Amino acid sequence: MVEPEDWMAAASKPPVELHTDRPHAARVYDLLLGGKTNYPADREAAKATLAVLPNAAMIARQNRSFMHRAARYLTVEAGIRQFLDIGTGIPTSPNLHEIVQSIAPQSRIVYADNDPIVLAHSRALHTSHPEGRTAYVQADLCSPESILDDPRLRQTLDLTQPVALTLLAVLHWLPAEHDPYAIVRQILRAFPAGSYLALTYVTNDFDPSALRDVSDTFRARGSHVNARRKDEVLRFFDGMELVEPGLQVVQRWRPAPTDLGADAIADTDIPLYAGVARTS
C-alpha cells in the first residue's frame, strides 16, 4: 500500500514545474499506448514520431509486453520478490506490481520517475496487494543517489536481499552529458549478488535515418534520444550473466503464446533491444 507519510512528504514540497510545454517520454509513451494523460506538446511529438516511424505504437506495445514477460520470469523462475522500476511512466494496467503480486503477493515494488504528473497517477493507481507493498519515489535517474537514498525506498526494500532493477525504454532518454553505464553500475552496486537487471534500449542498427529523424524531432522540442548499437547495449550487462536468449530485439525475448502477431513482426521492425541478466 502507499503509506500516509508519503502523501504528507509530497504535500510539504514546493510546487513543481510540470513542463507541459515540451514533450515528456512517459506521456508520449502513454499516448502511443492509447492513453489520455498527455498534452499538446506530447501529441505533436507523437504525431511527428509516427510520421518518420510509423510503427512507433507497435514499439510501445512490444516494450510493454516484454515488461510483462520479464516480470513473470523474474518472479516465477528467478524467485525475485523486490523490484525497483525506474522511469515507470503513466500507469497502464496491468502494471509491474500487479503482475508480480498476482504470483507472489508479498512482493515489494518501488516505482521511480521524475515527472510529477506520473507521480500523481502512480499514487492513485499503484495500489499494492495487502501482503506486499508499493512505494513511489519522485527522483531523477541522472542522480541515482536521489533514488537510492530516498527513505521511501529504504523503508520498502531490503537492500541485503536481491532486487530486480527494471529500466525499460528509459536510458536512451538521458541527456548526453550523463553516462548511462556509470548510472546503471552505481545503482546495481547498492544491491547484493543475485540481483537482476532488465532493460530495453532503442537502437539505430536497422534504420539509422528514421531514428535520427525521431531524435531530431524530440531535440527540437527540448528532449533527447540517444540510440545505440547492439554491442553498445550489451555493455550494460558487463560482468553479469545474461538470461537466455541473451540480448534480442524485444519481440524475440521469450515470446509468449499469447503474444498474438509477434511471429509476423520482422526482426528489424522494432528498433528496441531487450535483455535480462543476473549479477554475481
Domains, the chain? 18-279 (3.40.50.150)
Tell me the pLDDT tens digit for each residue of 251-265.
999 998 777 567 788
pTM of the model: 0.85
Helix intervals (H) in 190-277: 208-219, 230-234
State yes or no: pLDDT of 16 exceeds 50: no
Tell me the pLDDT tens digit for each residue of 203-248.
999 988 877 877 777 776 667 789 999 999 999 999 999 999 999 9
Return the C-alpha cell found at 79. 524467485
Return the C-alpha cell found at 76. 516465477
Tell me the pLDDT tens digit for each residue of 155-199.
999 999 999 999 999 999 999 899 999 999 999 999 999 999 999
Measured CA to CA, the distance from residue 280 to residue 270 in angstroms comes to: 31
Residue with cell 541473451: 246
Tell me the pLDDT tens digit for each residue of 65-82.
999 999 999 999 999 999
Measured CA to CA, the distance from residue 223 to residue 216 in angstroms comes to: 9
Give the up-direction half-sphere exposure of residue 194: CA atoms within 13 A in the CB hemisphere: 11
Measured CA to CA, the distance from residue 115 to residue 237 in angstroms comes to: 27
- Cα-atom radius of gyration of the chain, to the nearest Å? 18
Return the C-alpha cell found at 221. 522540442
Q: What pLDDT does residue 221 have?
A: 66
- Cis preceding-peptide flag for 180 (omega within 30 of 0): no
Q: What is the mean pLDDT of the chain?
A: 87
